[in-house]
Structure 1
Amino acid sequence: MTFIDNPDEPKPESKTTDKKINSTQEDLSQWGYDLYPDRRKPNNEPKSISGFLAGKGKENIDKIKCERSVYKCVKQSPLVKLMMGALKASGCGIDIRRHISCEECAPSVSGGYDPIMNQVVICQNTARKEGTIQSVLIHEMIHMFDYCRNNLDFRNIDHLACTEIRAANLAHCSFMSAWINGDASPFNIKEAHQNCVKSKALSSVLAARNISKLEAIDAIERVFPKCYPDLEPIGRRIRRNSLDMEKAFEEGYYYGFDQS
């Protein structure tokens, strides 16, 4: 789950990005659907003149702009292309029309991953800049990669904590972002990145599950030693104002990731 700044495990018969969690008996609010209202609205919801005059027709314009930015990122961003290639190499290729959706969301989030529909959600009302959309795509594609490659079970709190640690580690945290978020100081530069990762992972876990802060922290600390060093499939932590994105993309070739 991506924020504005600030139980049996399913066994897929084959590797595909279209495997779904059986949600017939589940309360979908546990998946964070209250943050993504379009996931619950009927597609044929009637449009009224009063609604249009109140500005509700703006969603279509936002959607078009969002989809254009997504397409541009897919074509031009080294890390998005790397993630697409890694998913394809794992047998979980992405059809951007099927697996990426621009939607209206709660103001507190800029994107998310829907494990039931296996879709990356881009929040068209909050993720407006291409840089933000790129960051959301990478973050949520890491969740998609973990779900495809590692049989991630989002109902398992340790699994959830692990994938949020990985996404924060690979897609978000740098010393500058850690400083802005208050996770860094001149006295803990060495630990700044780890603190930033834990902070972002904690926010995501708490938003996605109705658990106490202490339970979320315990889960993060439990899996952190194993999940923090796991840099697959990007292979390196991306520093700001560096060539790390281009280098990661070029190195994907050695791991069999399609770079076309």
Structure 2
Amino acid sequence: MSDKPTSSSPTEPPEQSAAFEKWRSGLAQFTGLGLSESEKAERERLKAQGKLEKDWDKCEGWKRQLMDYSPMITFLLNHLKLAGCAFPSSALQCHPCPENRAGGFSPDHGILLCQDRFFNKKHMEDTLAHELIHAFDHCRFKVDWGNLRHHACSEIRAANLSGDCRFTREVKRGFYAFNKQHQACVKRRAILSVLANPACTSPEMAEKAVNEVWESCFTDTRPFDEIY
């Protein structure tokens, strides 16, 4: 009696097995299913790194376009240069930021652009204009940022002149008043900025500083002839 052939599972060629494993691994990375804890952590790290790089590339691209083509930004950069405080591209740094800010100015480090906080290029333009006005004030008027009246004046001017308080921006923030909305926005945002100053210990102190310099600083449109 002849022996019957024993059955066995067919063996996949190595190249098919490798292709399947590559497909399975790619699907797991895409869905997050079937990954070990360490693989999940690595997946999240790579996603975060990819987002950081994408945000940075977009921020840098918008920055170059604004420095070259925005009438507002080129005007401010030119006046900073005329005042002896030229701002090269390297002084405008794109970085990720906390949720409650879009930019910042430091006399020692230049201007921060929060790469992950801009709704669009126009938002970035307004933010950059705001910070360049601070830079202009620091250059021309030797602002003492620890002096709340000095700080309040520059915040009033920056909010007033940069486009930060235009009507469409206020609507997005949930403010709909038509009567003197611009002035209300400038004052509100100046108070919030002064309140973040380490030398300010209360909302009342911030409001007092803004009120004390309001008339002279709100009407000061330098280097513009009028509100942009």
Structure 2 unaligned spans of 5+? 1-40
Select the residue among 52, 61, 64 that pairs with 1:59.
Answer: 52
> Is contact 1:169-1:197 (8 Å) kept?
yes
Give TM-score scaled by structure 1 length: 0.66
> Is contact 1:66-1:102 (8 Å) kept?
yes
Corresponding residue for residue 185 of structure 1: 177
Instruction: Tell me, yes or no, if structure 1 residue 123 matches structure 2 residue 101.
Output: no
Give TM-score scaled by structure 2 length: 0.75
Structure 2 CA distance for aligned equivalents of residues 177 and 55 of structure 1: 29
Select the residue among 90, 95, 103 that pairs with 2:95.
Answer: 103
* Pair 192,224 (structure 1): closer, same or farther in 2 beyond 3 Å: same
Select the residue among 219, 222, 236 that pairs with 2:226.
Answer: 236
Cα displacement string for residues 50-91 of structure 1 (whole angstroms, at most 9, x for unaligned residues): 663352342122112111100001111100000011101101
Select the residue among 111, 114, 125 that pairs with 1:134.
Answer: 125
Q: Once superposed, what is the RMSD of the aligned Cα atoms?
A: 2.1
Identity %: 33
Measured after TM superposition, the shift of residue 116 of structure 1 is 2.5
Corresponding residue for residue 169 of structure 1: 160
> Which protein has the bigger helix share?
2
Corresponding residue for residue 224 of structure 1: 214
Corresponding residue for residue 18 of structure 2: none
1:58 counterpart SS class? helix
Corresponding residue for residue 3 of structure 1: none
Select the residue among 188, 202, 219 that pairs with 2:191.
Answer: 202
Structure 1 CA distance for aligned equivalents of residues 115 and 101 of structure 2: 10
* Pair 107,165 (structure 1): closer, same or farther in 2 beyond 3 Å: same
Corresponding residue for residue 72 of structure 1: 65
Structure 1 unaligned spans of 5+? 1-47, 239-260
Corresponding residue for residue 35 of structure 1: none
2:104 counterpart SS class? strand
The residue type paired with residue 161 of structure 1 is A
Structure 1 CA distance for aligned equivalents of residues 45 and 153 of structure 2: 43
Structure 2 CA distance for aligned equivalents of residues 221 and 81 of structure 1: 31
* Pair 140,50 (structure 1): closer, same or farther in 2 beyond 3 Å: same
Measured after TM superposition, the shift of residue 136 of structure 1 is 0.9
Structure of larger gyration radius: 2
